A and B are shown apart, each in its own frame.
Chain A
């Protein structure tokens, strides 16, 4: 049984600009000038994905390419030895991560999906990404951030195998 595994990789701004899409969201440059693009880790990218500096940051990982991951599995045990959420319980992790606009224009942030669910008969594992500000999208002026909490509900009245291993996508598009 693997019902306690939850791994939601927060997509990074990788070399191809994957996951975070929306051309022209921050800068559009035309010819006759040199263009230099530096790919940064999530924390320093134009759309910053980072922890909020609280103790819940332990539930986040930064992988080898500086992409942020939510990891509530045994691969990310706490200092006290915790390795996952409780069975038959709802776990709330407040202010887990933030998405900050570090670009040059106001953007509208769309996060998809906001809901993850795996079922096996009556057994259910559900994860909700809950924004602290506006819903379902957030408008972020330069320098501003949206903070997200996580609600994780595990319901297992019978023996079953439910798990979530997925990705959450962040789309930021300039409002003008």
Chain B
């Protein structure tokens, strides 16, 4: 009988392997190997064990800078724990299967249980697959750069961020000087199987229009957006072109002053929008034809609004009635508050 930590974890409700830093996993497995016979367990490859790396702006960790920790130390499978403090830096994650764990990891962005934050002033670019960003407060100021897309940027051309997770963060796009129209909270460029959950995406006070979650020019497959609070001008916007999009958008709360979700006509759409709460408005879900965007001239798929309005458990907090309104001149339609039209 050679036991490993994972054997104990699977037998214990409410405990996950992620509760144990890699260093702890390693040495517990070593001890279990001695107690129960055999070699060490998961993550205990003696030649290249996963590491726990501590970043503390106050100087009590292995590094004071997140980026320095990534550049100088991090390897695949590692966990970088970031202590509360001010981190005036942008971060590029180019290490596969790396976890950045802030002090509020596992605690939803809108939870009263959040404690002191690790405040990152800059962008976070995820340029590797299977990366997790969990438990931070991240604010990016618009600079006017044409390459600027989001506070968190998922992937880039040639650098897939597929399989990555953005969870339990407070994400603040800041365009108070109107330098970068529609700066995104999370911008997806080249990433499938991405999960965005339990975040708050809210613009800085006085900011020009921002978008909560947006795409750039790539296909997006199997995007999961769940349990987020999004308060940007437009909460989610994607689709368009001859590209392919599939997404599950569930259990979110949208409080947007313009439009909740905009989905542009695209080559292929497989979108589930269910069990969300839409506040604000006047438009909640907008299905845009190519003629509206004038981006491409071809017949693709458009979002079917009727089931979103009637059958999928969405709540529309209107002042009047939630109805589907047609924009015949541009062949588009939207779920809207008829009292605000």
Which of A's residues lie within 8 Å of B, judged by CB? 90, 92, 94, 112-115, 117, 119, 121-122, 124, 126, 128, 130, 133-136, 149, 151, 153, 155, 157-159
Contact = CB atoms under 8 A, between A and B. Distances in A.
B327 interface: no
B23 A155 contact: yes
B86 interface: no
A119 B3 CA distance: 23
Contacts of A114: 8, 11-12
User: Main secondary structure on chain A at its contact with chain B?
Assistant: strand
A157 B32 contact: no
A136 B30 CA distance: 19
B11 A124 contact: no
Contacts, number: 84
Given A124-B21, A153-B24, A159-B60, 9 more contacts: A90-B27, A113-B12, A115-B15, A122-B21, A128-B32, A151-B28, A151-B32, A155-B24, A158-B60
11 contacts: A92-B35, A113-B13, A115-B11, A119-B19, A122-B79, A122-B83, A126-B20, A130-B35, A133-B1, A134-B1, A153-B27
Contacts of A158: 54, 56, 60-61, 83
Given A117-B20, A130-B35, A157 B8 contact: no
Counting contact residues on chain B (CB < 8 A from A), the size range is 20 to 34
Interface string B165-196: 00000000000000000000000000000000
Contact of A90 (B31, B52, B60, B101): B31
A128 B31 CA distance: 11
A159 B79 CA distance: 18
A124 B12 contact: no
Contacts of A133: 1
A50 to B, nearest CB: 20
